Structure formats: structure tokens, C-alpha cells
Structure 1
Amino acid sequence: MINIDRALRSSIRTGKVVLGSNSSLEHGLRGDAKLIIYASDCPEHVRQKLRSLEVPVYAYQSSGRDLGAACGKPFPVAALAVIEPGDSEIMALLREIRGVANE
């Protein structure tokens, strides 16, 4: 099991990650996103839209405030999309979520 917070910080530092539910949806629709992560308090209608995309989706087990902090940001993050993982292990989450229904 990977340390998600560490992998997120590494991905933001060495790869390309977009923050925010609208940007995540946009990149998911365009097919740019390799993985989308949403916070536990992400609005349900946004979760449904994210889950409808043909992109793996991971439910972060904490709030948007905590997800923002994990990204090194001083603000809440409802969702983010990993475009390029960089040197991080973030894509290892795919092994964890394969075959597991998303919330």
C-alpha cells in the first residue's frame, strides 16, 4: 500500500496534476487524465459526474481540506486529476482500485 499523501506531493512536484472538480472533469472528458481523486466531502453530483468518466477514480478517505493539505495547498481541494504522474507512485493506486467499486 502506498502513502497517498506522499505520492500526491511527488506527483505535483514532478508531474502534472490539475486541481479542482471542474478542471478534473474537463481533463477527464478530454481523455487527458490518467487518474482522478476526489475528497470525501466532494458534492455528490460532482462524484457522479467523475464516476461516469472513462478514467479510474479514487475516493480519498478524508476531507477536501485534508486533500488540499496533502497537495501542499492552503485551500480545500474537492477533486484533482493526474495528467502525468512524474516520479511518484500515484499510479500504484490503480492496483488498489481495480475491481473495487468506487463510492
Structure 2
Amino acid sequence: MPPKNKKLAQEGIGNKLAVVMKSGKYFFGQNQCLKSLRKKSAKLVVISNNCPPLRRSEIEYYSLLSGCSVLKFKGSNVDLGRSCGRYFRASVVTIIDPGDSDILDLSKAN
């Protein structure tokens, strides 16, 4: 039963990411993520499940310093890219402006 709940929760995150991609501002990749965290313009960072540990810890450290939330995506980088509507792998997605989505409320609940 728990895998179904995880699957439904993951679909919810995917739907919210799709709304962000249509109406918000975002960046893909580690370098853009670190730049926006240094500027303190990032609102949320979404990290895939198979992101390398060193990269993950660096992003989490910078997000802690900037006061940004981190959401751990339970799928791989391929799943994260597909849920964003792209056909390439994305291990890190930085959300600058959520647009019409309420994904920031979801990150505060976790």
C-alpha cells in the first residue's frame, strides 16, 4: 500500500512542476542553481533521487545559507526531466517564481 501513496504523491509533485513550467520562472542545472542561491533569488530547489551526494550536499548547504527550501524528488533525474516536460535529464531544478502553482506550500509541508 505505501508504494501507491508514494506514487500518488509523486504525481502531485509532477503536476505542480508542470504548472510551474507553464507559468513560472525556473532554471535547470547545478551551476544556475548555485548562482541563484548566491543571489538569494531562488524560492525552491528540487533535487532528484540519484543526484551525486557531493553535489546534493553542496546545494543543501547553499540553500541553508540563503534560506531556500529543498524538495527531494523521489524519482530519478530522467523522471524529474520528464515531469518538467523536457526530454533530457535534470538532476536539479531551481524555481525562482512559482507562477500559478502552489508548490511552495508543498515544500513547507515536508
Report the TM range for the smaller structure's normalisation: 0.7 to 0.9
- Which letter maps to 2:96? I
The correspondence for 2:19, drawn from 5, 10, 18, is 10
Q: Partner of 1:101 in structure 2? A: none
Q: Give the C-alpha shift of residue 93 in structure 1.
A: 2.0
- Which letter maps to 1:29? R
Q: Determine whether 1:39 maps to 2:39.
A: no
Larger Rg: 2
Decide which structure has greater helix share.
2
Q: Tell me the TM-score normalised to structure 2 length.
A: 0.82
Structure 1: give runs of 5+ residues left out of the alignment.
98-103
Query: What is the rounded CA distance, in whole Å, between the counterparts of 1:7 and 1:96 in structure 2?
Result: 14
Q: Partner of 2:99 in structure 1? A: 86
Deviations 1:2-38, CA, capped at 9 Å, x for gaps: 8110110100110101111211111111101000010
Tell me how many residue pairs correspond in the alignment.
97
Identity %: 29
Mean Cα displacement is larger for which, 88-97 or 27-36? 88-97
The correspondence for 1:75, drawn from 88, 91, 94, is 88
Q: Partner of 2:72 in structure 1? A: 59
Q: Tell me the TM-score normalised to structure 1 length.
A: 0.88
SS at 2:88 equivalent? coil
After TM superposition, the runs of 4+ consecutive aligned structure 1 residues lying more than 4 A away are none
Structure 2: give runs of 5+ residues left out of the alignment.
1-8
